[in-house]
Amino acid sequence: MAVISRGFSGRRRGGGEALPPGQYLTTDFPVLSAGPTPRVDLDRWELTLTSESGQRRDWSWGQLQALPAQDVTVDLHCVTRWSKLGTAWRGVCLDTLLDGVDTDAAYALVDCYGGYTTNLPLADLRGGRAWVAYGYDGAPLAPEHGGPARLLVPHLYLWKSAKWVHGITLRTSDSPGFWESVGYHNYGDPWREQRYWDA
Amino acid sequence: MTWRVGTVVGRRQESATAVTLVLQVPGWPGHLAGQHVDVRLTAEDGYTATRSYSVASAPDGERVELVVESVVDGEVSPYLTGAVVVGDPLELRGPVGGWFVWRPEQTEPVTLVAGGSGVVPLAAMLRARARAGSDADVRLVYSVRSADQLCFGDELRALAGDGFTPVYTRTAPPGWPRPAARLDAATLAGATWPADRHPSCYVCGPTGFVEAVADLLIEAGHDPARVRTERFGPSGGNG
């Protein structure tokens, strides 16, 4: 039973149907990170993909750039309640990175330069819904927003789109990542408002 | 996580733009210093708006204090700072967040660096430290534009003693020894624990401030894993 806030009518800023419940629109690009922004030297940068059997693929920065890139325009929804619509990214689709990988894994654990981790079902990395992004708005991705490269999984809350992505490990069992271990939802669907674990 | 209905039992003006709301929340499960809560407002037609606010108080039974900084053109904060009076009910849920927290069992030195209203969760840590009788060494650097923006000034001086360093970025009070300027490496180094004491560092404030301070701490040799940050965006993520 909701308590009516006497005299409150609200601002009802735009966004309409495009906004998941409990979100408000922003036009700038807030930064949320748990720690300092890591600085990653492109000469030493690598991305690894490790299957549950230990088979490993890796890409250098140059190798990643040589893969077919996609330009995508997506909406971002942060669990801290801002949403930013129509953001333009450039990156490599996870389907490309996963192509031909022999796996029965159902989950992925993503680790990052700086130590951040996040987990998600492998299915959410497939089907043209996830990218390793290195361009934003026509320019290289800035470090505070996850550059040189970050995961981009816009159909989930933004903490799943891990900044400074370094490795993706495919797993047969699920294992909570950084925010998932301290009270945030394991899956994080903004349209179902899965912000927190119901402890 | 369930919504609870608290009652506003007190309010204090903390600065020109910030107000403390003291809430009595039946069934409050307790919180850690540094955690935040969601506050929900509901209009008569059922429209709701929710924002997160840091808890300013040390754990204290069912009592929870929030500090709300009124954001120009904000949807929720002007209502909370301007319209809410003692006796009003207020819906909230939490506590939320288990990373940017200080626990009384921590014994290592603590460096706290606040920009503007980022002081709130850090004040909660100082209050929790005092309440727990902790001996953890603490230093606090608090950057504000001018003295009228300073929250909890006398209390922070009492809680942190000589470890408290206010930094004025636009206008320094008359007779203040340091001219108004942004927090720089030398000031930060002089007012915080050196890296070889392996402090836990907590940095909270606007994005640009947190980025700059975290970078300075890393350059000064601090282990990135011991630097915890909490940022609010340029739009006033707490609107």
CATH value at residue A178: 3.90.420.10
Interface contact B217-A36, CB threshold 8 A: yes
| HSE-up (13 A, CA, CB side) for residue B197 | 16
Interface contact B91-A198, CB threshold 8 A: no
What is the pTM for the complete model shown?
Answer: 0.88
Q: Which of A93, A171, A79, A98 is nearest to A129 (CA)?
A: A93
- Residue A145, both tokens: 């927003």
Tell me the CA distances in angstroms from B105 to A89, A181, B134, B165, one per residue in order. 44, 20, 8, 25
Interface contact A35-B227, CB threshold 8 A: yes
Question: In this structure, what DSSP letter does residue A32 have?
Answer: -
User: At how many degrees (to 10) do helices B119-132 and B153-160 cross?
Assistant: 50
How far is Cα A32 from Cα A29, in angstroms, rounded to an integer? 10
Strand pairing category for B4-13 and B36-42: unpaired
Strand pairing category for B227-232 and B200-206: parallel
CB contacts, 8 Å: A145 with chain B = none
Interface predicted TM-score (ipTM)? 0.79
A89 is in which domain, residue-wise?
44-49+59-192
How far is Cα B169 from Cα B179, in angstroms, rounded to an integer? 8
A-chain residue closest to B226, CA distance:
A35
Chain A nearest C-alpha distance from B149 (Å):
23
* Residue A21 forms part of a structural domain: no
* Residue A31 forms part of a structural domain: no
Query: In this structure, what are the phi and psi dihedrals at residue B148, rounded to the nearest 5 degrees?
Result: -75, -10
Q: Which of B43, B217, B233 sits opposite A82 (nearest CB)?
A: B233
Structural domains in chain B? 4-96 (2.40.30.10), 110-231 (3.40.50.80)
For the stretch A47-50, contacts whose Cβ atoms lie closer than 8 Å and that sit 24 or more positions apart, written own/partner, are: A47/A97, A47/A132, A47/A149, A47/A165, A47/A166, A47/A167, A47/A168, A48/A166, A48/A167, A48/A168, A49/A97, A49/A98, A49/A101, A49/A167, A49/A168, A49/A170, A50/A167, A50/A168, A50/A169, A50/A170
Question: In this structure, what DSSP letter does residue B17 have?
Answer: S
Q: Which of B41, B211, B227 sits opposite A5 (nearest CB)?
A: B41
Instruction: Output the pLDDT for position B119.
Output: 95
- Is the minimum CB–CB distance between B26 and chain A shorter than 8 Å? no
Interface contact B42-A5, CB threshold 8 A: yes
Q: Which of B228, B234, B202 is nearest to B112 (CA)?
A: B202
Domain count across chain A: 1
**Cross-strand bridge partners of residue B113:** B141, B203
Instruction: Output the pLDDT for position A15.
Output: 55
Q: Which of B24, B28, B20, B30 is nearest to B9 (CA)?
A: B24
A15: Cα separation from own chain's centroid? 22
Write out residues 98-157 of A within 8 Å (CB-CB) of B.
114-115, 144
Helices and strands of chain A, counted as H and E runs: 2, 11
Write out residues 58-117 of B within 8 Å (CB-CB) of A.
75, 79, 83, 88-91, 96-100
Could you tell me if A134 and A194 are in contact, meaning their C-beta atoms sit under 8 angstroms apart?
no
Which positions ≥6 away from B186 have C-beta within 8 Å?
Answer: none
Which positions ≥6 away from B164 have C-beta within 8 Å?
Answer: B139, B140, B142, B156, B157
| HSE-up (13 A, CA, CB side) for residue B163 | 18
Write out residues 55-84 of A within 8 Å (CB-CB) of B.
80-82
Instruction: Output the pLDDT for position A30.
Output: 72
pLDDT in tens, A119-158: 999 999 999 999 999 999 999 999 999 999 999 999 999 9
A-chain residue closest to B44, CA distance:
A4
Q: Is A76 left (phi over 0), alpha (psi -120 to 50) or beta?
A: beta
Which positions ≥6 away from A178 have C-beta within 8 Å?
Answer: A34, A116, A117, A118, B99
Q: Which of B61, B66, B65 is nearest to B30 (CA)?
A: B61
CB contacts, 8 Å: B79 with chain A = 5, 7-8
Instruction: Output the pLDDT for position B239.
Output: 38
Size of chain A, expressed as the number of residues it contains: 199
Give the mean pLDDT per block of 10 residues along chain B (239 residues): 95 93 97 95 92 94 95 89 96 91 97 95 97 96 95 95 96 93 96 98 93 95 94 47
* Residue A9 forms part of a structural domain: no
Instruction: Output the pLDDT for position A28.
Output: 73
- Which helix (H) or strand (E) segment holds residue B129: the answer is helix B119-132
* Residue A118 forms part of a structural domain: yes
Stretches where chain A sits below pLDDT 70 are: 1, 13-17, 198-199
